[in-house]
């Protein structure tokens, strides 16, 4: 029986590879938003549905694929669509475009993926000709790593072709899992159907030998793809489908023009016998690039210009209308579980539309070149470097400098040991607390292959903007002060190597509310969201509302816009509604105004706020009105911890003063990192930094400031670890109290 014409199982691929400059306007029949994605226009359409360019309220762009309702009613369609979503979500790689959201069960099933503005490999070769050997090597190494992740997830992509590889200055991205299938899974199509793209199929695919289709089939397709990239033509020619399929099965590939350094590898990839082909991991090792050079020079200049033009088109996209988030919009809804709260404000994967710079660390790995070339200097002995990304000269410089000092003390302590198996170095990168400088500051660290882990960043949004660099290089990133939950590993694949050694803001918000419930007789706590930093405030108020619901208490809610100054009127109205305690979810300037207003109003109930008010500025500007306020922060005063006395003494000797807040936690987490590095050294090997984060997440570490446990999947502080320490303002100073309770009191006092 002859195979039928090749067909993608989900119909014509619909993804976001189209030129954003040619974005088509929405039709009258199109929705304005889908599941939190504001739709900006159409990227493309086909018989299966439409692909829109969407954007979240946080500004992340996504290609939102929506299928037609009539297609959803067809037999097996939802099963295929669900399989596509599940396959894409299972793949975790910086070189595969992540899913940022999906609902296969919606009336019109949809899936969103991170939007990449660059051209496909097919477009680039057609427009600018073959790529030079070095470009092909880096391209192949990255796509091979993506396929290794695909295969590790138990999936076969089955459609690796130039149109399914997008180019960005920081590396390529593999897309479209529409016809991917789990290894050994029963096909949803007939057994004699050829699935994939002629010219980029393995012989077993060309003959529809479905039982033989597996990871080696993707390797064959990768060989075809790299031959096309190097020569500008497919290795089995073009023409009628039947002729292409015949040549794939029976003829040798035409590799004329392939650089000599790639010939042997491509011949191995294109072996007719699947058992004779190398694995994706082996290909990645053989294509490791040892001298990446300048930032974007892995691609020819014309291709880089095309990417820059398309990235620049992002600046012309329409703005999203501002929306107002009510404090009580979740009232009456079922209370989510505590772990679900870690995901409350998760957005899509972070996308730097202009492309990343110097993502070569992840392409080359941390070991010596496996193709016989020498590794980066020094040639005989690699350096063991701990990085610090911090705000050393900006608005949070006091915290950043404290974190740097803690890291430096940990490194100096390690190096003072006579039995140390290696010498640690510290490399510091100052982002000045500027989110626009954060990515470059991160790449200064991740671009150095000897940096094995990084402490930082200091602030939420520098952390968020720096995240692509750490995701690309898979360098462990440990933060003691950035509590934004978007930093941890979310569905969609971001935060792959992050460890948050501080409570996420939503969890910190629950801690404040639990403290109110445990320490007061409040039955009508007021809770105010001030929207200067909307995400931070929303997460705090969401966490507090959750805790109050658990305690069966109905708060008095308010939301005020950024720039509000008349807090006396707002808080007076809340007091008239019976407010007997006050939770401030906002930043220091508004907390100062609230403190003064409550003081003038004669309010005597508990006044409490969170991490971003825990700073000397609140004490100085609120003055006497700050007295009695309770502030929750993710740090403990080292001078109050009995087990930290030696650390405090060492800090005094080194810096002539007691350690500031965040110094002790930074000291502990760098010690945790050095502990894992030492374990690897004792095993007789240098650690691969891309494998360190899972080990760190599984570690249980007792430091001078306490115990650290992490969620092994997300990297967030482990469930049951509260991490919020309470302080009361007394005589113009922060007086330590105790840790916030882990839950509401069992019996409410009345």
Q: Which residues are catalytic?
A: 159
Q: Which two tokens stand for residue 737?
A: 């109290």
Helices and strands, number each (H, E), in the chain: 22, 24
Q: Which residues contact 177 (CB under 8 A, 6 or more apart)?
A: 84, 87, 88, 91, 155, 157
Helix (H, G, I), strand (E, B) or coil at 519: helix
DSSP code for 708: E
Q: Which two tokens stand for residue 51?
A: 């692909």
The sign of the torsion formed by the CA atoms of 32, 38, 44, 50 equals negative
Q: Are 570 and 558 in contact (CB under 8 A)?
A: yes
Please list, residue by residue across 426-444, b when 16 or more beta carbons sit within 10 angstroms of its beta carbon and e when fewer do.
bbbbbbbbbbebbbbbbbb
Q: Are 83 and 109 in contact (CB under 8 A)?
A: no
Crossing angle of helices 663-682 and 397-415, in 10° steps, is: 40
Crossing angle of helices 435-446 and 460-473, in 10° steps, is: 30
Within 10 angstroms of residue 720's Cβ, the number of other Cβ atoms is: 9
Q: Which two tokens stand for residue 368?
A: 């010596």
Distance CA(598)–CA(593), nearest Å, equals 9
Q: Which two tokens stand for residue 657?
A: 């003063």
Q: Which two tokens stand for residue 189?
A: 């199509």
Distance CA(474)–CA(94), nearest Å, equals 8
Edge-to-edge strand list for the sheet holding 424-430: 424-430, 384-390, 451-455, 477-479, 498-500
Q: Are 47 and 12 in contact (CB under 8 A)?
A: yes
Q: Which two tokens stand for residue 380?
A: 């005989």
Distance CA(102)–CA(177), nearest Å, equals 14
Q: Which two tokens stand for residue 624?
A: 């006497």
Distance CA(735)–CA(607), nearest Å, equals 15
Cα 284 from chain centroid?
23
Query: What string of DSSP letters covers 92-158?
Result: --TTBPPEEEEETTSSS-EEEEE---SPBHHHHHHHH-PPPHHHHHHHHHHHHHHHHHHHHTTEE--
Distance CA(93)–CA(213), nearest Å, equals 22
Helix (H, G, I), strand (E, B) or coil at 277: coil
In the block, residue with structure tokens 């997440």:
697
Strands 556-560 and 477-479: unpaired
Paired strand residues for 193: 4
Distance CA(139)–CA(129), nearest Å, equals 15
Q: Which of 195, 177, 189 is nearest to 83 (CA)?
A: 177
Distance CA(597)–CA(575), nearest Å, equals 12
User: Could you give the angle at the alpha carbon of 288 between the alpha carbons of 282 and 294, nearest 5°?
Assistant: 160
* Secondary-structure breakdown of the chain: helix, strand, coil percentages, each rounded to the nearest 5: 40, 15, 45
**Alpha helices (H) in 270-396, listed in sequence order:** 280-286, 301-313, 360-364
Cα 323 from chain centroid?
25
Q: Which residues contact 468 (CB under 8 A, 6 or more apart)?
A: 170, 350, 351, 352, 356, 439
């Amino acid at each position: 029986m002859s195979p039928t014409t090749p067909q993608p199982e989900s119909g014509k691929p619909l993804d976001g590879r189209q030129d954003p400059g040619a974005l088509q306007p929405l039709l009258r029949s199109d929705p304005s938003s889908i599941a939190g994605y504001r739709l900006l226009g159409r990227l493309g359409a086909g018989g299966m549905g439409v692909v829109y360019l969407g954007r979240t309220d946080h500004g992340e762009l996504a290609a939102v694929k929506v299928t037609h309702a009539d297609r959803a009613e067809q037999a097996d369609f939802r099963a295929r669509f669900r399989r596509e979503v599940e396959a894409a979500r299972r793949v975790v790689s910086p070189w595969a475009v992540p899913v940022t959201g999906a609902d296969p069960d919606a009336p019109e099933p949809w899936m969103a993926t991170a939007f990449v503005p660059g051209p496909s490999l097919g477009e680039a070769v057609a427009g600018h000709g073959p790529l030079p050997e070095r470009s092909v090597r880096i391209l192949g190494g990255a796509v091979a790593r993506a396929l290794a992740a695909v295969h590790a997830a138990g999936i076969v992509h089955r459609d690796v072709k130039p149109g399914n590889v997008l180019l960005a200055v920081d590396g390529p991205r593999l897309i479209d899992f529409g016809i991917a299938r789990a290894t050994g899974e029963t096909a949803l199509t007939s057994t004699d159907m050829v699935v994939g793209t002629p010219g980029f199929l393995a012989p077993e695919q060309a003959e529809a030998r479905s039982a033989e289709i597996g990871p080696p089939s993707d390797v064959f397709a990768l060989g075809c793809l790299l031959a096309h990239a190097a020569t500008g033509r497919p290795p089995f020619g073009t023409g009628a489908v039947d002729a292409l399929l015949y040549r794939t099965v029976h003829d040798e590939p035409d590799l004329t023009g392939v650089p000599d350094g790639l010939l042997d590898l491509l011949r191995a990839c294109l072996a007719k016998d699947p058992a004779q082909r190398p694995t994706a991991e082996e290909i990645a090792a053989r294509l490791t690039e040892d001298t990446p050079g300048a930032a974007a020079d892995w691609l020819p200049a014309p291709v880089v210009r095309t990417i820059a033009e398309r990235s620049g088109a992002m600046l012309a996209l329409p703005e999203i209308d501002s929306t107002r988030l009510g404090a009580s919009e979740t009232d009456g809804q079922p209370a989510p579980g505590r772990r679900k709260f870690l995901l409350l404000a998760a957005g899509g994967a972070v996308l730097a539309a202009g492309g990343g710079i110097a993502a070569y660390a992840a392409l080359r790995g941390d070991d010596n070149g496996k193709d016989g070339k020498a590794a980066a200097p020094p040639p005989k002995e690699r350096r063991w470097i701990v990085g610090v990304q911090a705000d050393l000269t900006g608005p949070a410089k006091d915290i950043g400098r404290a974190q740097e000092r803690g890291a430096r003390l940990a490194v100096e302590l390690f190096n003072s040991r006579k039995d140390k198996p290696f010498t640690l170095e510290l490399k510091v990168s100052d982002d000045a607390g500027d989110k626009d400088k954060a990515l470059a500051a991160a790449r200064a660290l991740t671009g150095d292959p000897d940096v094995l882990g990084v402490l930082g960043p200091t602030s939420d949004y520098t952390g968020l903007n720096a995240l692509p660099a750490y995701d690309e290089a898979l360098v462990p990133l440990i933060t003691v002060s950035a509590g934004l939950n978007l930093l941890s590993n979310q569905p969609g694949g971001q935060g792959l190597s992050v460890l948050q050694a501080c409570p996420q803001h939503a969890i910190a918000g629950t801690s404040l509310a639990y403290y109110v419930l445990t320490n007061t007789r409040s039955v009508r706590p007021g809770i105010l969201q001030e929207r200067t930093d909307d995400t931070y405030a929303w997460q705090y108020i969401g966490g507090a509302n959750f805790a109050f619901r658990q305690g069966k208490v109905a708060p008095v809610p308010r939301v005020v816009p950024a720039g509000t100054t008349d807090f006396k009127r707002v808080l007076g109205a809340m007091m008239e509604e019976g407010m007997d305690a006050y939770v401030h979810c906002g930043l220091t300037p508004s907390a100062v105004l609230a403190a003064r207003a409550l003081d003038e109003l004669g309010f005597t109930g508990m006044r409490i706020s969170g991490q971003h008010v825990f700073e000397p500025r609140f004490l100085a500007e609120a003055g006497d009105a700050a007295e009695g306020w309770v502030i929750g922060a993710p740090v403990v005063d080292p001078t109050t911890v009995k087990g930290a006395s030696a650390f405090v003494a060492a800090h005094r000797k080194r810096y002539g003063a007691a350690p500031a807040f965040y110094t002790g936690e930074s000291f502990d987490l760098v010690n945790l990192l050095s502990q894992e590095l030492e374990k690897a050294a004792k095993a007789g090997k240098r650690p691969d930094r891309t494998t360190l984060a899972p080990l760190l997440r599984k570690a249980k570490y007792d430091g001078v400031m306490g115990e650290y446990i992490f969620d092994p999947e997300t990297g967030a502080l482990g469930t049951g670890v509260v991490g919020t320490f309470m302080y009361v303002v007394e005589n113009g100073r922060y007086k330590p109290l105790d840790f916030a309770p882990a839950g509401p009191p069992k019996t409410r006092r009345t």
